[in-house]
Amino acid sequence: MTATNAPILITGAGQRVGLHCAERLLDDGHAVIFSYRSERRGVDTLRKRGAIGLFADFSSEVGILAFIAQLKTHTDSLRAIIHNASAWVAETPGDETRAFHDMFSVHMLAPYLINLHCSALLQRSTPADIVHISDDVVRKGSRQHIAYCATKSGLDSLTLSFAAQFAPLIKVNGIAPAMVMFNEDDDAAYRAKVLAKSALGIEPGPQVIYQSVRYLLDNPYVTGTTLTVNGGRHIK
Average pLDDT per run of 10 along the chain, which is 236 residues long? 77 97 98 95 96 97 98 98 95 92 98 98 97 97 94 98 98 97 92 95 96 98 98 94
**Across the strands, what pairs with 81?**
9, 130
3 in a structural domain: no
The answer to whether residue 148 is catalytic is: yes
Residue 85 CB contacts under 8 Å (≥ 6 apart), including other chains: 11, 12, 18, 35, 37, 56, 58, 106, 110
234 in a structural domain: no
Give me the amino acid identity at 12. Answer: G
* 7 backbone dihedrals φ, ψ, rounded to 5°: -70, 160
Q: Quick: pLDDT tens for 80-114.
A: 999 999 999 988 899 999 999 999 999 999 999 99
| Residue in 148, 190, 215, 221 annotated catalytic | 148
CA dist 67 and 55 (Å) reads 7
104 in a structural domain: yes
* Total domain count, the chain: 1
Which residues constitute the domain of residue 16? Answer: 8-229
123 in a structural domain: yes
Cβ count within 10 A of residue 31: 16
125 in a structural domain: yes
pTM of the model: 0.95
Give me the amino acid identity at 225. Answer: T
CA dist 17 and 69 (Å) reads 26
Residue 96 CB contacts under 8 Å (≥ 6 apart), including other chains: 147
Q: Is 9 helix (H, G, I), strand (E, B) or coil?
A: strand
Q: What is the CATH number of the domain that holds 35?
A: 3.40.50.720
Q: What is the per-residue burial (b if ≥16 Cβ within 10 Å, else e) of 45-60?
A: ebeeeebbbbebebbe
| Ordered alpha helix ranges (H), the chain | 16-27, 41-48, 61-72, 96-104, 110-122, 146-166, 188-195, 207-218
19 in a structural domain: yes
53 in a structural domain: yes
235 in a structural domain: no
Q: Which of 165, 183, 175, 110 is nearest to 138 (CA)?
A: 175
Asked if residues 133 and 174 have their Cβ atoms less than 8 Å apart, the reply is yes
pLDDT of residue 90: 87
